[in-house]
Structure 1
């Protein structure tokens, strides 16, 4: 009966056509009412699998792939540094594909919201976590990956989520948790895709930790899981770099050869060749072929840079500098090589030629163009700090010596020299102004971007090399200046170097140092000339007070310069004459005990005989430096009886301190310090002495004593307390207790 009814209905034999759609809708509603996303029946599961896959998962996956293709296409490799195994994440650089990421998040979320019984649920969560990670929303990405690992059903999906979690930990710098995840995954049965991603992610983690040997070994394990192509060629290039970093050149060469066998890009094959050459395995003919190859027109700077490296390695330093200058000159539109070339030139002048002012100039140029996120930036900036101070102290010595010699000149001769110096400087400035106007006029008649304009004739602001050179020359002449009005006024201290006082150039350079010369103009008026001359006269130490200040600057500069030679540049042979000059010119310097000690240590380092130890012990027996010398043969020799005696001496002095008999307590403490060397309470007595110095001698000696304690007792248990005292001592007097 029913079968006949339905047959008649659908054949249209017994029911009018207008009721047919309503009945069909009712049937469909009844059928799908059982397709709940929480049902495990075959029909609902099939329905949700179908919708989850084609209406959400595949779209989200394609959006993620679009983002990854964009990231690979737009990422600019820096071949001057070890390439990152995985491309770094930067949400700002992914802003053009933000819509794709948002759509991926939306579509992946639909599966979780509407298709809980779908087999694509775990995969969609992984896509959601990946999109969050690309957005640098690391907290939510971690939550998603952890959820899949905890609630997911497929083992492969759980492993994939944990690899994503490990990557997220790496991006946040949490290497400890990243390694914990890696250690867990190491014992799991991973499929081929997850094994590949696991090795790559763990290799990236160790690369970030600068554990290059482990990273390279993990990359070696990855290659069997990779197909030939650009990605595999890139990873071989990275493996070669890592092996070069740990000094295994044979393995590095093997990987560079593999680059050429894996269908690389032209850049990859070029740099694989360059890295092989940098290992010293090439000939001049090979360089000539590379320079003459038209495909290398934009890469000549890198070729010359490599030629310079090889010359420097063979100690042909002038030739190395010549090639590096050619590298800079051959730079076209891509200026990424320039800071690394400047860095190598600065390194050569610093480490090999020991020309520190020139090294500083090249380091300045390198830092001006080097990206702050570069691995070399911090180390270079730290070294530059010492070079800046070195050049500053040298310039103080030269400037103050020259100004003191000016003060001793005959007034008439001095006035004549100043007039001549002003005239010379005026002519130089006018010549520079005329040259600048000539270049500007030529640039105005031609397109600024025209490729046929010679490099030295381009408008300055279009040429990054000239900009860097200009910055360097400015800092060499004027030092580091804040952006402010009247920065050249005569009260400003200069960093310019001065010539000898007997030459006319001396006065001219002194004018530069003091900022006494103004800007170029056609002709100086009488008032302008008088103003410049008065500004210079104001800097010359004619009065006893001005001479005293000048000498104090010189004394401090010699002291600081000697310590830079000794500690930062490891040049005791130059530290010794610097300290000796300090003692000769300023025999009553307040740093005499320390200078004696440093002279003793420097001579010992050079195996030279000297009497500085005897002078230190004879003239300053209670100083911390004398105690340092005394420790050499006595540390650890105190017996139980000696410790008892040391404790008795300490108690007596402490009782004097409590009784407010401070001067006597300090005198006895300083006498006792040499006898307590090596005892268990030596540092305790030293702290009591520091406190007594503060109460008897005042703030500055107290601060100096605190600094000496920190230096002399770096392992003392009392060090935290002394550091607190030092911080308090640096506060304004009103705030100190």
Structure 2
């Protein structure tokens, strides 16, 4: 070949010139066909295909390794999470690097827009949402291919959803709805829009959009998952027939084993809601088959949980609780189902049995294990707080009542009672110690225990659970004794603020101030004990000291003095008041509220909360459609309180009432300007009762607030403003009152 060119120098020069011109024309800014063809080819195979395959592979891996919580509504699209994406982060970074070669070296390539879309997708998967949004916006603004621009807009909508910016996501969706999308963009648009509405809690819209998407989807695990979600959505909006149909479609879409398992469980639940008795009757056989299937050995807790749900929906509460308990027993090491089972048990005790003490126990257990990202976590936390307060108030009432009763007993009877309590406690402690020793003996003997489940005694001692590890137990006992001494078995033994009353103890207990021997014989013969007697004497002294410490602790809690009894009664009064409000507002139990408030008035007729209690009794009886005397008592005994104005507020007022209110207001205001504030306040108090419900009521109430400040001082002024905020939340004067509150809270030197 070289000889050929040597013999033809002119031809050689021609070829070299052509090659040089071709290379010059391959500039990335050239629009010549050869240049564009070169850059299209290079950009496609050297950058775009590699980056696309890496991102697709990362998405497939994230889908394959996803952790589904089937106790909650599954997300239509897997939410982006930088932590979960950590294993594929190098892959995504390399994809961004490869895709970035196209805008750097191949500006005239037709793959430029596609490269930016890939960069946006990769950044979104890394949860780098601000940069992803900017990239997608750039494609929509600068892109040349309409399909690529639509793909970028779908990505932009997804990024807005992940960022929680739903208004902007809806704006993008509304624009895309009017565009002619190709099949791939239509599919992705529908899925993203359904995901948006699901995130917003608009389940009916999300389910409808999913239904429109399924014809464009191929059978497979991803499609089976979407059918499962559609079934969940229809269950949530009360359409179990449609939900059941989607659960059946799951089984036809090549699902994973977990998907088919939960589809069967959800289908049974939907049958329970449809009222199809034939299918409901078949569910018992289905449950039996599922429980006997060896593949479901680690899923029995889910099966029993579903059985409990069906029983609860059919009103068989006790059977439901039994199944829930069985579900917890079958959970084993996998506790993912357990918090939701505790939650359902708590709901049954709360809503069906009104057993708030037991409900609190189950809510406590549920909250200890429930993931904080659960959708209803905040609502459950609020209910748990209500139950905590309920148990606290009940415990306060019961405990202080019992202590006051003990204080009224004779010293001899009280001392005998306390001795019996301590003896009973010692028996219980001995029984617990014997059980613990039994567990230790079985564990150290190498046997598999059947008490509280199988032990791990076959493991080395340092790997055993502490209760099955005698070495750890012995060491722990020694460490405890070295630090705290030989403490008696009692609750709250670490408290350092126990008040000891030696006078009460000496008057109540024959053991104080003398040993057990001296209590029998004041002058026992002195003798040198042998080793055995010394050991027995030491043990006896230790027992006596332990009982004395326990008695002192119990006596210290009893309110013998008038001051202590007054404090105990104050705690009971406050607890009854708060418990009644809890029944009325948080628990919606007006009958229990009435009983609690009436008990409060009976025991403490001079309570400072009487006007509000009258008002709440009136509301509670009104809620039960019962006639009562509380409204009349409130109006007659406390006519000038805000509660009287609330119950006296008329539904409508006549024109004459409005005109009369205007005149009365003007008269009171004239008195105020004339500095006759005492008379003005008295008239304002009376006018508020007479003209409740008029358009001038809040204005009159504000004038009263100002007058209270002038006549009664700063504390009454603050209270009056608080009452205004509470009684007139919709008033146009509210901002002014809040400004007045802020000014009242400033230091005196700064006030005008």
How does the TM-score come out when normalised to structure 2? 0.83
Matched, 1:302 2:309: no
- Who is 2:312 aligned against? 312
> Are the equivalent residues in 2 in contact too, given 1:653–1:668 (CA < 8 A)?
no
Matched, 1:615 2:633: yes
> Are the equivalent residues in 1 in contact too, given 2:449–2:455 (CA < 8 A)?
no
Cα RMSD after superposing both structures: 3.1
Q: How many pairs are equivalent?
A: 673
Give the whole-Å Cα distance in 1 for the aligned partners of 2:14 and 2:177.
Answer: 59
**Residue 87 of structure 1: how far off its partner (Å):** 0.5
**Residue 640 of structure 1: how far off its partner (Å):** 5.2
Instruction: Provide structure 2 residue ranges, at least 5 long, that are not aligned to the other structure.
Output: 273-278, 457-463, 469-491, 500-538
Instruction: Identify which of 178, 202, 212 aligns with 2:193.
Output: 202
**Residue 724 of structure 1: how far off its partner (Å):** 4.5
Matched, 1:71 2:62: yes
Give the whole-Å Cα distance in 1 for the aligned partners of 2:335 and 2:251.
Answer: 26
- Who is 2:595 aligned against? 577
- Who is 1:33 aligned against? 24
Give the whole-Å Cα distance in 2 for the aligned partners of 1:446 and 1:237.
Answer: 48
Say which is worse superposed, 168-177 or 710-719, in terms of deviation.
710-719
Give the whole-Å Cα distance in 2 for the aligned partners of 1:301 and 1:545.
Answer: 55
Residues 106-117 of structure 1: matches in 2 within 5 Å?
A: 106-117=97-108
Instruction: Provide structure 1 residue ranges, at least 5 long, that are not aligned to the other structure.
Output: 1-6, 464-485, 494-520
Give the whole-Å Cα distance in 2 for the aligned partners of 1:620 and 1:82.
Answer: 53
Matched, 1:489 2:495: yes
Residues 256-655 of structure 1: matches in 2 within 5 Å?
A: 256-279=247-270, 280=272, 281-283=279-281, 284-436=284-436, 438-439=438-439, 455=453, 457=455, 488-489=494-495, 491=497, 526-633=544-651, 635=653, 638-639=656-657, 641-655=659-673
> Are the equivalent residues in 2 in contact too, given 1:169–1:175 (CA < 8 A)?
yes
Instruction: Identify which of 704, 719, 725 aligns with 2:734.
Output: 719
Give the whole-Å Cα distance in 2 for the aligned partners of 1:695 and 1:245.
Answer: 57
- Who is 1:483 aligned against? none
Instruction: Identify which of 162, 166, 169 aligns with 1:175.
Output: 166
Give the whole-Å Cα distance in 2 for the aligned partners of 1:260 and 1:389.
Answer: 47
Say which is worse superposed, 355-364 or 630-639, in terms of deviation.
630-639
> Are the equivalent residues in 2 in contact too, given 1:490–1:535 (CA < 8 A)?
no
**Residue 290 of structure 1: how far off its partner (Å):** 1.3
Deviation per residue, 1:656-705 (Å, 9 max, x gap): 6xx3x654443333222212322333212222333444555556554543
- Who is 2:531 aligned against? none
Give the whole-Å Cα distance in 2 for the aligned partners of 1:718 and 1:733.
Answer: 24
Give the whole-Å Cα distance in 2 for the aligned partners of 1:445 and 1:702.
Answer: 75
Change (3 A) 1:375 1:225: same
**Residue 432 of structure 1: how far off its partner (Å):** 3.1
Give the whole-Å Cα distance in 1 for the aligned partners of 2:90 and 2:443.
Answer: 43
Residue 31 of structure 2 aligns to a residue whose secondary structure is: coil
Say which is worse superposed, 83-92 or 532-541, in terms of deviation.
532-541
Change (3 A) 1:607 1:404: same
Deviation per residue, 1:309-366 (Å, 9 max, x gap): 1111121111111000001111133211111111110110000000001111111111
Give the whole-Å Cα distance in 2 for the aligned partners of 1:70 and 1:673.
Answer: 70
- Who is 2:526 aligned against? none
Change (3 A) 1:105 1:446: farther
> Are the equivalent residues in 2 in contact too, given 1:646–1:676 (CA < 8 A)?
no
Residue 455 of structure 1 aligns to a residue whose secondary structure is: coil
Give the whole-Å Cα distance in 2 for the aligned partners of 1:492 and 1:559.
Answer: 28
Change (3 A) 1:724 1:92: farther
Say which is worse superposed, 537-546 or 362-371, in terms of deviation.
537-546
Change (3 A) 1:313 1:699: farther
Deviation per residue, 1:27-61 (Å, 9 max, x gap): 86654232111111111112211221122111211
Residue 44 of structure 2 aligns to a residue whose secondary structure is: helix
Give the whole-Å Cα distance in 1 for the aligned partners of 2:100 and 2:66.
Answer: 29
Residue 66 of structure 1 aligns to a residue whose secondary structure is: helix
Change (3 A) 1:689 1:375: same
Residue 33 of structure 1 aligns to a residue whose secondary structure is: helix
Matched, 1:52 2:43: yes
**Residue 534 of structure 1: how far off its partner (Å):** 3.1
Say which is worse superposed, 167-176 or 635-644, in terms of deviation.
635-644
- Who is 2:224 aligned against? 233
Deviation per residue, 1:622-675 (Å, 9 max, x gap): 11111112113554655453143133233135326xx3x654443333222212
- Who is 1:143 aligned against? 134
Whose Rg is larger?
A: 2
